Structure 1
Amino acid sequence: MHIHVASHPLITHKLTVLRDKNTHSSVFRSLTTELVTLLAYEATREVRVEPVTVETPVSTTQGVMLSQPRPLVVPILRAGLGMLEGMVSLVSTAEVGFLGMARDEETLRPTVYAERLPENLTGRQCFILDPMLATGGSLIETIKFLLARGATDITCVCLLGTPEGVQAVEDATVGFNVTLVLGALDEKLNEHGFIVPGLGDAGDRLYGTV
């Protein structure tokens, strides 16, 4: 697994505001969009392109366009949905699929409750959006779901991660082409499975349910 922790003052600044418990949900949502756009820039460095010839107002020139089949963006519901706008603003021609994952707060194990994805992902570059890489359970199950449908190139974009979560994903994806892009790598998980220092429950803060 390839791991990239983004290092940029704008990313750190936006994460700092997101961490603040007094940040209103409307600000949280807009900053999440901005932050994901920055992370998407890092996550798409290896996006597949093909050469094309275009006519400018002056002459013809060589450029590139995104290759077919189109990239697939998969936000993990519900919190991943808050990252979608930031991703598709950068990769506007990507196809979007959805996977609903819920975590049992006692066992910390994820379960699938909704799915809307192509049946065949052979040859597709897939980008998973999941704000918080805590235990890694939801992300691992999503990766397995995509691999089972033929995906061979998967990039995961997370606002925050933990050493425990990163290790779990790495252990579960040995031998597969998986990349992990993080806004920051935090200290640890606490006894309740929450990221420390973290930013709380991303879904609750995105949608104002706390």
Structure 2
Amino acid sequence: MQNSRLHVSTHPLSGHFLTDLRSTSTTPERYRVLTHRLTSVLALEATAGMDVRDVPVTTPLQETTGHYLAQPIVAVPILRAGLGMLDAITELFPAVSVGYIGLERNEETLQPTEYYFKAPALDGAHVLMIDPMLATGGSAAVAAKLLRNQGAATLSLICVIAAPEGVDKLLSADDGIEIYTASLDDGLNERGYILPGLGDYGDRLFGTELIGTGLVS
């Protein structure tokens, strides 16, 4: 699958971290560390083309010219799993502003329902929408529309893995969005889960899949 707006990371660390994220033996504690590290790699790739502005700077030896980012950055995690990626963004970009989008997926229809949306001013900002999994693309398409309506002009999605079905839907729904991911997986099963995938990201990230198994009280 080729599209100039789909960027699949070729950095060796992306595959390295993703392998452990897929593994059933990875604990929630380790999952959070890996999510932070992989998000950092993907965020650097997603912002590599940002404009900069020149500024004068005084070194201990002489005057020279440096540069700062020309645009503010806004990070918008899609709840709840997107929260696990947020710390990596705020660590890389301390001045980042943060919005939130709450979407729930109906497990029968697979359609997203909005239950929360709050965003800072988006005019002139580089907006990074963050959600670890792009599956059917329905939630991402709804989220992108909300952000566009709020004034987002430059919009990217950072996700850990993506399915071709979700990529097609999102790129069709938004003709300007860029997608940055560590893997384009094979596709979706009958329940809308990505294959080979890595399970339910939110459950694995927050340890909720262990509740009721006797492993968590």
Task: Confirm or deny a common fold (TM above 0.5).
Answer: yes
CA-CA distance at 1:58 after TM superposition: 1.1
- Give the whole-Å Cα distance in 1 for the aligned partners of 2:12 and 2:160: 15
**Corresponding position: 1:77 with 2:79:** yes
**Corresponding position: 1:170 with 2:171:** yes
What is the Cα-based RMSD across aligned positions, in Å? 1.1
CA-CA distance at 1:48 after TM superposition: 3.0
- Give the whole-Å Cα distance in 2 for the aligned partners of 1:148 and 1:27: 37
**1:61-103 residue CA offsets vs partner (Å, 9 max, x unmatched):** 11111225x2111011100000011122222211111111111
Secondary structure in 2 aligned to 1:31?
helix
Query: How do residues 106-125 of structure 1 correspond to structure 2 at under 5 angstroms?
Result: 106-118=108-120, 120-125=121-126
The aligned residue for residue 55 of structure 1 is 58
- Give the whole-Å Cα distance in 2 for the aligned partners of 1:189 and 1:88: 32
Q: Which structure has more RCO (C-alpha within 8 Å, separation ≥ 6)?
A: 1
**Corresponding position: 1:181 with 2:180:** yes
- 1:108 partner amino acid: L
CA-CA distance at 1:209 after TM superposition: 0.3
The aligned residue for residue 161 of structure 2 is 160
Secondary structure in 2 aligned to 1:108?
coil
**Corresponding position: 1:202 with 2:201:** yes
The aligned residue for residue 139 of structure 2 is 138
CA-CA distance at 1:121 after TM superposition: 2.1
CA-CA distance at 1:115 after TM superposition: 1.8
Partner residue of 1:13 out of 13, 16, 25: 16
**1:166-209 residue CA offsets vs partner (Å, 9 max, x unmatched):** 001111113xx211001100001000000000000110000000
- Give the whole-Å Cα distance in 2 for the aligned partners of 1:116 and 1:45: 27
- 5+ long unaligned stretches in structure 1: none
- 5+ long unaligned stretches in structure 2: 210-217
| Identity level (%) | 45
**Corresponding position: 1:100 with 2:102:** yes
**Superposition misfits of 4+ residues, deviation over 3 angstroms:** none
Partner residue of 1:39 out of 24, 37, 42: 42
